[in-house]
């Protein structure tokens, strides 16, 4: 398959702490920088799974932008090479606690200007992954919706976190999702968008909008619906860092789904990549 990934690329600054935060004081931490951003994460993990992938995104004309473009090339990810003069590359500070859970503080930077003019020739691709963050960002929402409506191939959407979605009317979010062939999201997001308290009810409700729905359940695996409901439990070790694990799952899932259309196989493949991702700090595998 030839995949197109549309959306954000970021410079992740990961701050890993092993103790309680000393607010208004000093807290010892391990600080590292590496590539991130949902669309870029999915593209990198698709390449890791030996898929042909093109990342459509934008960086600034700064050192982080130059670094990210080099890293994409090193990982075999073709990309739009859009380095925007006068703009800064997107940056997100990722706070990773002692349990491996992360909190994010994003600045979208050049990602906010993504538009139809940035798109490559769409005829060369078979499947598009579309990051919900492009739609969530009010500065890019109008252009992102134009891009979404222009796509004439199967679209996979991950809508983004509840914290980012909760200022947008649900009817608008559901309109975005109606363009998707596959929806992949976590349990919290599924409950929020469907306004259901139980995962199974949320799954069935979202199926009314999108033909194939996959709900990620963390270390419990995933549950999905297409022609039938399939649940796969996956035991995982304690994570070092969960940053990018959901995106790695998406990459693994869609690399298998569009080959076999077998939910169980696709969930298993997604879980394999997600398990790899939580075994180190950062969203991209070390090279």
Domain-embedded: residue 133: yes
237 pLDDT exceeds 80? Answer: no
The 3-state DSSP class for residue 157 equals strand
Tokens of 262: 């077998």
d(CA 122, CA 115): 14
30 Rama sector, left if φ>0, alpha if ψ -120 to 50, beta otherwise: beta
Yes or no: say if 203 and 229 are a contact pair by the CB < 8 Å rule: yes
Return the structure tokens found at 18: 């092993």
Cβ pair 283, 35 in contact under 8 A: yes
- Cα–Cα distance for residue pair 239/153, rounded to 1 Å: 35
Residue 75 neighbours by CB distance under 10 Å: 18
The burial class, CB within 10 Å (0-12 / 13-18 / 19+), for 265 is: middle
What tokens appear for 223 in the block?
């549950």
What average pLDDT is seen over the chain? 93
**Does the structure show a pLDDT above 90 at 98?**
no
Residue 111 has pLDDT above 90, yes or no: yes
Spatial separation of the C-alpha atoms in residues 271 and 57, rounded to whole Å: 26
Does residue 43 form part of some domain? yes
CB atoms inside a 10 Å sphere around CB 192: 20
How high is the pLDDT of residue 102? 78
Question: 3-state DSSP call for residue 36?
Answer: strand
Average pLDDT rounded to a whole number, residues 49-54: 96
Burial class (CB in 10 A: 0-12, 13-18, 19+), 181: middle
Give 213's strand partners: 183, 225
Average pLDDT on 170-185 reads: 97
Assess whether pLDDT exceeds 90 at residue 207.
Answer: yes
Does some domain include residue 120? yes
Q: What percent of the chain has pLDDT over 90?
A: 77
Asked whether residue 284 is assigned to any structural domain, the reply reads: no
For residue 41, give the H/E element and its range. Answer: helix 38-48
Mean pLDDT over residues 129-133, rounded?
A: 95
Q: Say what the pTM is.
A: 0.92
Are 17 and 95 spatial neighbours (Cβ–Cβ below 8 Å)? Answer: yes
Does residue 168 carry a pLDDT above 70?
yes
Residue 73 lies in a domain: yes
Q: What confidence score (pLDDT) does residue 7 get?
A: 94
Closest CA relative to residue 158, chosen from 66, 278, 254: 254
Q: Total structural domains in the chain?
A: 1
In a domain, 287, yes or no: no
In 3D, which of 287, 283, 260, 261 has the Cα closest to residue 273? 283
Q: Say if 186 falls within a structural domain.
A: yes
Q: Quick count: other Cβ atoms within 10 Å of Cβ 272?
A: 16
CATH number, domain at 63? 3.40.1190.20
Q: Which residue has the higher pLDDT, 164 or 267?
A: 267
Please determine, for residue 43, whether its predicted confidence score (pLDDT) is greater than 90: yes
Tokens representing 62 are: 């700064």
Count of other CB atoms within 10 angstroms of residue 166: 9
Confidence (pLDDT) at 103:
87
**Residue 101, pLDDT score:** 80
Owning domain of residue 79: 2-21+28-277
Q: Is residue 194 part of a domain?
A: yes
Give the pLDDT of residue 235.
67
């Amino acid at each position: 398959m030839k995949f197109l990934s549309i959306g954000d690329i970021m410079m992740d600054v990961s701050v890993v702490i092993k103790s309680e935060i000393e607010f208004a004081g000093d807290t010892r931490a391990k600080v590292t920088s590496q590539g991130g951003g949902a669309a870029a994460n999915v593209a990198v993990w698709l390449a890791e799974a030996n898929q042909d992938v093109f990342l459509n995104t934008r960086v600034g004309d700064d050192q982080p932008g130059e670094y990210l473009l080099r890293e994409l090339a090193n990982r075999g990810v073709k990309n739009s090479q859009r380095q925007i003069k006068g703009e800064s590359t997107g940056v997100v500070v990722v706070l990773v606690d002692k349990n491996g859970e992360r909190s994010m503080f994003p600045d979208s930077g050049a990602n906010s200007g993504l538009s139809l003019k940035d798109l490559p020739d769409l005829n060369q691709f078979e499947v598009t992954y579309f990051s919900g963050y492009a739609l969530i960002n009010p500065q890019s929402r109008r252009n992102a919706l134009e891009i979404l409506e222009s796509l004439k191939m199967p679209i996979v959407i991950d809508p983004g976190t509840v914290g980012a979605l909760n200022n947008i009317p649900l009817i608008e979010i559901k309109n975005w999702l109606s363009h998707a062939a596959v929806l992949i999201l976590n349990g919290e997001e599924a409950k929020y968008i469907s306004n259901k308290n139980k995962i199974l009810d949320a799954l069935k409700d979202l199926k009314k909008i999108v033909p194939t729905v996959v709900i990620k359940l963390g270390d419990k695996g995933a549950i999905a619906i297409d022609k039938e409901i399939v649940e796969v439990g996956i035991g995982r070790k304690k994570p070092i860092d969960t940053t990018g694990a959901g995106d790695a799952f998406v990459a693994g899932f869609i690399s298998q789904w569009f080959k076999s259309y077998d939910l169980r196989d696709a969930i298993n493949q997604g879980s394999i990549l997600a398990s790899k991702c939580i075994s180190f700090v950062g969203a991209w595998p070390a090279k």
